Amino acid sequence: MEALDLARWQFGVTTVYHFIFVPLTIGLTPLVAIMQTIWVRTGNETWLRLTKFFGKLMLINFAIGVATGIVQEFQFGMNWSEYSRFVGDVFGAPLAMEALAAFFVESTFLGLWIFGWDKLPKKIHLASIWAVAIATNLSAYFILAANSWMQHPVGTTFNTETGRAEMTDVVAVLTNSTLLAAFPHTVTAAFLTAGTFVAGIAAWWMVRLVRNGDSEKARTVYRPAVMLGVFTMLISGVGLGITGHAQGQLMFEQQPTKMAAAEALCETEDGAAFSILAIGDLTNNCDGVAHLISIPGLTSFLANNDFTSRIEGVNDLQERYEEQYGEGVNYIPDLTVTYWAFRLMIGLAAGSVALALAALWFTRKGRVSDNKWLARIAIWAIPTPFLASSFGWIFTEMGRQPWVVYPAPGGVDGVWLLTERGVSEVVSPTTVVISMVAFTLVYGVLAVFWFRLMKRYAVEGVADTEKDYSTDNPDNRPDPSDPDAAERPLSFAY
């Protein structure tokens, strides 16, 4: 394999692996902040116990997300040095903003939250976790600003002397229409992931306690967590549908090849149907592709709210792009990957839907349930939004191919870059293989530790009691000179 193929594999492996943890961090941090807010406002110890329980899981996920994300920056400068040379003036700015304005805030206030249980007043400590929640989402905004520019470059000129893209309008980059569509879709997906995570774990515990005869703890501790998770799923699910439709319409306009490939739409059609199942050789020449199950006119409606509108097929788009950008390049992304990634992204959301419906039914009218099917649905539903988010990311990135910087319709002349031209000219295939194997092994070890830690603390459950160690309650503060102190404020974090 050539260095280009290996570099794409390495970036794909590390990016998808890292992105597994991102949605949970984005969505769970605000939910933990909400739990702590309820405790501060009501004084109900249950919500303090839930805060610390899900706070443990949030910290584990946050740590592994940071560790796996660091690798991304190194790849830009090494495997993809030609890409960095071309877009560094633009791409580097939002990444720097993310590090300075967002990640430092996250780190600082997360430290205050972890170490401040017995050193800060309640409200100051609460403000710390809210600062982390806001900064986490701000961090996502800046990262998506960089990615959205790759999908739709704006606020830029092409310097013919240096052969580089140069930023001319940072406001345009930070208000890119692609970004304004991608950010709410990503955030609602993150809240769906976190809501499913909270509801799934709490529902499993609720069923377990009821079956063991402890209905009181199930009712007072885990049922409220189930309800918080379910309501989060319902609200974010509606938001996900709305934002996904808006983003899809924008993609039909800005990246028609991606959306045509997502439907395996070979020829231009009026009133294009939405394909539920296609068979055949989904190669880029479309030979032998047959749509067995489809919904008439739905793809046209998704594109521009008109069931009869015309949608260009990949064959016509290939001809158009050859006229615009030159022959000898296959401008259509891999149909197999885009077609199935798009459907798995949507279809896997069924796990969250099933859990929400089951939880609402079995907990109606204030009930708690011992139904084993609810516990099974809860466990099996937890990974589905993680997988859906990963397939969504694969669809977004693979659907952009063969471009690493997609040419904006009617955009800036020269500000586009084929993926094959972004790879380093000096990094050898052997070097990429060695680093990819090393990263994969390290990531595999980290995955084992992440899963075992998450499982350990999830199975451990919510503590039977928690004390308020804040400076508002000096009588509860532990004696630092006592080596046998039963409950240290930091015990929840380790």
CA distances (Å), origin 403, targets 155, 396, 417:
19, 12, 6
* Token pair in block for residue 296: 């008439």
Distance between CA atoms of 323 and 321, rounded to whole angstroms?
Answer: 5
Mind listing the pLDDT tens digit of every residue in the chain (494 residues)?
Answer: 788 889 888 888 888 888 888 899 999 999 999 999 999 999 889 999 999 999 999 999 988 888 787 777 778 888 888 888 888 888 888 888 888 877 788 889 999 999 888 888 889 999 999 999 999 999 999 999 999 999 999 889 888 888 888 898 889 999 999 999 999 999 999 999 999 999 999 999 999 999 888 888 889 989 999 999 999 999 999 999 999 989 988 888 888 888 888 888 888 888 888 877 776 666 656 766 777 787 888 888 888 888 888 888 888 888 888 888 888 888 888 888 888 898 899 899 889 999 999 999 999 888 888 889 999 999 999 999 999 999 999 998 998 889 999 888 766 677 888 988 888 888 888 988 998 888 888 888 888 999 999 999 999 888 887 776 666 666 665 565 655 454 554 444 44
For residue 172, which amino acid is it? A
Query: Which amino acid, one-letter code, is at 181?
Result: A
Q: What residues does each domain of the chain span?
A: 3-254+340-493, 256-333
Q: In angstroms, rounded to a whole number, what is the distance separating the alpha carbons of residues 110 and 112?
A: 5
∠ CA 279-281-284, nearest 5°, is 120
- Between the alpha carbon of residue 301 and those of residues 237, 252, 298, the distances in Å are 21, 11, 5
Question: 3-state DSSP call for residue 137?
Answer: helix
Phi, psi at 295, each rounded to 5°: -110, 115
**Residue 408 · residue 152 · CB < 8 Å:** yes
Q: Which residues of 14-42 are buried (b: 16+ CB within 10 A; e: fewer)?
A: bbebbbbbbbbbbbbbbbbbbbbbbbbee
pTM of the model: 0.90
Are residues 382 and 397 in contact, defined by beta-carbon separation less than 8 angstroms?
A: no
Is residue 49 within 8 Å of residue 224, measured between CB atoms? no
